[in-house]
Amino acid sequence: MLANLLASGMNDAQWVAYWVVVTICIIGIFAAAFIAIFLVLFQKSNSEGIQGITASSETFFGKNRGRSIEEKLKKWSWILLGVVGVLSVVVYIMQLIAP
């Protein structure tokens, strides 16, 4: 594989830069996915079951939902999952460019 890349016109500096970028992206994917898993596990379930029919939702967190801890966890989960998606696309494009 190394011989094919070097024969196709990729010099040593480009080879090292390619592997550094791909390695950083893969580490970033694993870190963001790991943190996103824990953020999702800490979130409260959306379904309240039978309690959701009869109980009132006029609580502090119900009125100020945008500033609640649950809303922040949800926002950071989406951000981290977006990071995973973007870094995955970057790694895929880098693999298309390399050969």
**Which candidate, 86, 73, 81, places its Cα nearest to that of 40?**
73
Return the pLDDT at 20.
92
Q: Is the pLDDT of residue 3 over 50?
A: no
**Which candidate, 70, 51, 52, 53, places its Cα nearest to that of 61?**
70
Domain boundary assignment for the chain: 2-42+65-97
pLDDT digits (tens, 9 = 90+) for 41-95: 888 776 655 555 555 555 555 556 556 888 888 899 999 999 999 999 999 998 8
